Structure 1
Amino acid sequence: MSIEPVPAATARIAILAAAALCIASLALFWPGTAMYDTVAQYKQVLSGVYDDWHPPAMARVWALLAAFGPGATPMLVLQLATYWLGLGLIGDALARIGRSRSAAAIIAIGLLPPCLGWQGVVLKDAQLAGALLAAVGIIGWWRLARRPLPGAMWVPFALLLTYAVLVRANAMFIVVPLLVTLAPRPTYPLAKLVTGLIAVVVVLGVAPIVNHRLLRAQPSGVEATQALYDLAGIAARAPASDATGLTQSETATVLAKRCAKPFFWDPLGDEAHCGTTMARLRGLPTGTLYVTLASAALHHPIAYAGHRLAHLNSTDRWLVPYHWPSAAPPAASEPNTLGLAGPGAAAHSWEAMTAIVVETPLGWPIAWIVVAITALAVSVSRPRDPVRDLATALIVSALTLEASFAVLSIASDLRYHLWPMIATAVASVLLAERSPPSKIFMVGAGALLLVVGSGIASRILLPQPPQTYAGMLG
């Protein structure tokens, strides 16, 4: 691909637009929306006592930035600044190689209501999206112009990706595939896969050491939640078995109170539902729990698969009822006594619009997965160049995270899919310079129509679920 020279003033329009939209976004969401998780983390910031239920890296960064202002505002600035910086750098890089329309489309991605709406809420998912976009923007700004990343820029790039890995427990399924795909070595796909698997194992081993020793966070037992959720799910589908880890009495309670829900694990931790029922298992060592889970899955593979597929359908928001909860970002902050205020009427209006948009396929992760798979097929069909390589890395990171939800996921919030949605949108714009092969386009379009059509049918036919957290708990 030849690069046509572009006037500097023209190429900088994307950066200027991103800067202007960053300021406008800050004004819109100021001082930041606080969810339950936000309040819990701010308590740790104020007390100086940290645990690992929520990412201690985010709480530690928040404590460092607290000198610049109280409340959630410093973190709002951080996540919106990195969000728009990344999009601005990618847009600027595309404009410099003569793709001004693509540059405009990249900036427009930042205005997608589900993306920007969640970016106004101060929580780990928005911090993750901002850090990842900024890191991709840094490397893309040089690579799209066929220039190596300068030595000095490796420092912010590494810091952003390190923060991303630590700010969500499953971020390794984003960062590792992104880096391995972008790296020039190894070159063969199988070698890259093996390298990625080894890197994931290393991160799994190192992350707890960083959280507990370096960041001095107390263990909270959060690592047991996945095993508890899956064991209860298997027991609910194989109630007569003695290989699920639950006693017959515990299984009967889980069934009677309907605590094994595809939507989320929360009833299993709630004392009014099955919290006390699962207390015996919760007291076991984490290693023992996962050995028990492995045994239960081997003894009852159909029950385990049914449980995981039901949850995957729920979190991907495919064959679910209309108004499946936890899609729209909150319009107001969680009530608190810590001084965490909420944004004004303009933000409420934006989030009301977002609540409408997330009911469309733009808010269905399953639709984005189909687009990502199609984009990946288009990408690998093209010869290698910097644009194609960056798009491929983004898609691989998005699909790897989505694939991980088949095994590692306990809740169905749309915010967990924020990065795959953004990465797929950016990659699609990168690849849009040329028309995709007709066969790939037709197959992808057909699959998307099938997914959207069946999703619409389920939303028409299935009864509407409860619209409150207490109602979903049952």
Structure 2
Amino acid sequence: MAVASRAARGWSSFSVLYGVLSLCGCLLSVLLFFPGIMSSDTSDVLHQAISGVWSDWHSPFYTFVFSLLWPAKFGPAAMLLLNCTLLWLAIYFLADSSRRRFGWISLVFFAVPFFPALVYMPGFIWDISLHSVVWLLAFAVIYRSVQVRGEISTAASVVAIALVVAGVLVRQNGWFASLPLVFMALPSTLNPKKRGALVCLVFLTLPLIWSAFGRIAHATQSHAAHSIITYDLGAMSAIEGRNLYPGVWSPPQSQSITGECFERDAKARANDNGWDIYSWGRCAFVTEALNGQHIFGTATLVRAWVHAILSNPAAYLGARANFFETFMLSRNSLPIVSSGLSNDQAGYPMLHPDRLAGLATAIGKFRNSPIFSPLTWFCVAMILAGLTLFLARMSSGVRRLGLPLAFSSLIWMLTYVPFGVAYDFRYVFWAVLASLVCAIVMICELIRSRRKLSR
């Protein structure tokens, strides 16, 4: 009895130690990036959150969360604190619950937020940052329940699914990648058919939820999806050699659309950053003309897009393949910053610009390495998906935890084949985070399986 009591106190002491490590990591992240690295998107959302006049170009749910954090008083700082708190809470859950089964290898989880491709993530006040940490916390809640209780409790299931749904509301392109996470979060006591039915129900309900939220919030419709259509029509016009945009266009404009706006070389396309060239790049006249003729945001543009796809599906597939190729090879908008220009313009200067510059110098050494190549993480996601499928037969832990996380990462990357419009590295954050955590979980579970076999 006394031995059991001492063991319990020992476990408790280690939990406190892991809690202290997580708290220190959180404080370090907050102090390093305070008050949060802003961009023009951040300034836009911050203004909407303060004014109460929202649009759906940025997620209304993200703006709603921002509005709850007193942005008029704290600016971006409260969102930075939220990002860091959720991230390090997830790391604590993962590390502490795995320590009980795997010992000191659990400390590896504390290195994840300091991985070069992720160290800036919580510091950026972007919806993609909040989405990534919310989904990581959802996985951590499931992982902790499985490791501590041996099963997914009802409370853990409800909390995890709610967090997954919240992540999709923050980033709608997570709609498909959420499916493996929802399936994982459902109690294993349910038979596969019931779990599959519930996953389908959540999948079908999500668009209704984000549409309803936008209407409740009175968010102005800005037709963000038409940025994808604008890009596709531009790329297809270049491939077919004729202007596929609806409306009235002068011969010089049509010539530019077919011969100048869409580069044939992937490296040259990377500099245009996808749809940016049609919105505010050298071919910004395209969006200006579509808006001027009241076509952007209307069914006319959608019909032209559908007609173009049906008339020449090969051109559409070629356009999307060109986009994904460029996205995989691009190194645009790497998350390495040495100063906060948007912060200065918005009146929220960085607290420690010298430390930020030092961090940029240190992380910049990896700029040309595979770490900052989206192609690397796409390949890693594919490899992990294949490995977890193979190892699922050997380990129930890999089947229950590693497999869904790996496939969520892979599906997330694949969604940019039909839906991508820009080449920013931030779009890879979830894939990097999920892949690293998945690899650690898989290694831990394999160690556990080998221990069982050796007994």
1:301 equivalent to 2:313? Answer yes
Partner AA of 1:340 in structure 2? Y
Task: Give me the TM-score of the superposition, normalised by structure 2.
Answer: 0.83
Alignment equivalent of 2:339, drawn from 325, 332, 339: 332
Instruction: Give the superposition deviation at 1:161.
Output: 2.5
Instruction: Output one character per residue of 1:39-78: Cα deviation in whole Å (capped at 9) or x when no partner.
Output: 1111112212111111121222122111795211100000
Q: Tell me the SS of whatever aligns to 1:7.
A: helix
Alignment equivalent of 1:350, drawn from 359, 363, 379: 359
- 5+ long unaligned stretches in structure 2: 1-6, 264-268, 448-455
Alignment equivalent of 1:43, drawn from 44, 47, 66: 47
Give the structure 2 partner of residue 341 of structure 1. 349
Instruction: Output one character per residue of 1:308-346: Cα deviation in whole Å (capped at 9) or x when no partner.
Output: 1121122222xx5xxx32113433221555432224211
1:410 equivalent to 2:412? Answer no
1:429 equivalent to 2:440? Answer yes
Q: Tell me the SS of whatever aligns to 1:278.
A: helix
Mapping for residues 30-429 of structure 1, pairs under 5 Å: 30-66=34-70, 69-101=73-105, 103-153=106-156, 156-183=159-186, 184=188, 185=190, 187=192, 192=196, 199-211=202-214, 213-240=215-242, 245=246, 249=251, 250-258=253-261, 261=269, 263-270=273-280, 272-279=284-291, 283=295, 286-317=298-329, 320=330, 324-333=331-340, 334=342, 338-344=346-352, 345-381=354-390, 382-383=392-393, 384-429=395-440
Change (3 A) 1:357 1:170: same
Distance between the aligned counterparts of 1:290 and 1:199, measured in 2? 27
Q: Tell me the SS of whatever aligns to 1:407.
A: helix
Kept after mapping to 2: 8 A contact 1:174/1:398 = yes
Q: Of Structure 1 and Structure 2, which has the larger fraction of its residues in helix?
A: 2
Greater mean deviation of Cα atoms: 294-303 or 109-118: 294-303
Distance between the aligned counterparts of 1:390 and 1:328, measured in 2? 29
Partner AA of 2:42 in structure 1? T
Kept after mapping to 1: 8 A contact 2:238/2:258 = yes
Kept after mapping to 2: 8 A contact 1:76/1:121 = yes
Kept after mapping to 2: 8 A contact 1:18/1:85 = yes
Q: Tell me the SS of whatever aligns to 2:120.
A: helix
Distance between the aligned counterparts of 1:239 and 1:365, measured in 2? 30
Distance between the aligned counterparts of 2:193 and 2:247, measured in 1? 45
Give the structure 2 partner of residue 463 of structure 1. none
Greater mean deviation of Cα atoms: 176-185 or 229-238: 176-185
Kept after mapping to 1: 8 A contact 2:287/2:296 = no
Distance between the aligned counterparts of 1:82 and 1:429, measured in 2? 19
Give the structure 2 partner of residue 455 of structure 1. none
Task: Give me the TM-score of the superposition, normalised by structure 1.
Answer: 0.80
Change (3 A) 1:149 1:140: same
Give the structure 1 partner of residue 28 of structure 2. 24
Instruction: Give the superposition deviation at 1:361.
Output: 0.9
Distance between the aligned counterparts of 1:51 and 1:285, measured in 2? 13
Change (3 A) 1:302 1:251: farther
Kept after mapping to 2: 8 A contact 1:142/1:149 = yes
Partner AA of 2:177 in structure 1? I
Kept after mapping to 1: 8 A contact 2:35/2:80 = yes
Change (3 A) 1:295 1:99: farther
Instruction: Output one character per residue of 1:393-426: Cα deviation in whole Å (capped at 9) or x when no partner.
Output: 1111111111111101100000011001110110
Aligned identity (percent) is 20
Change (3 A) 1:329 1:119: farther
Change (3 A) 1:117 1:268: same
Partner AA of 1:326 in structure 2? S
Q: Tell me the SS of whatever aligns to 1:65.
A: coil
Distance between the aligned counterparts of 1:380 and 1:188, measured in 2? 20
Give the structure 2 partner of residue 460 of structure 1. none
Instruction: Give the superposition deviation at 1:38.
Output: 0.6
Kept after mapping to 1: 8 A contact 2:164/2:182 = no
Supply the RMSD in Å over aligned alpha carbons.
3.0
Partner AA of 2:436 in structure 1? A
Partner AA of 1:269 in structure 2? S
Distance between the aligned counterparts of 2:201 and 2:229, measured in 1? 23
Count of aligned residue pairs for this structure pair: 423
Instruction: Output one character per residue of 1:14-57: Cα deviation in whole Å (capped at 9) or x when no partner.
Output: 43322211111111111111111111111112212111111121
Instruction: Give the superposition deviation at 1:305.
Output: 2.0
Instruction: Give the superposition deviation at 1:156.
Output: 4.3
- 5+ long unaligned stretches in structure 1: 436-474
Distance between the aligned counterparts of 1:253 and 1:209, measured in 2? 40
Kept after mapping to 1: 8 A contact 2:36/2:77 = yes
Partner AA of 1:87 in structure 2? I
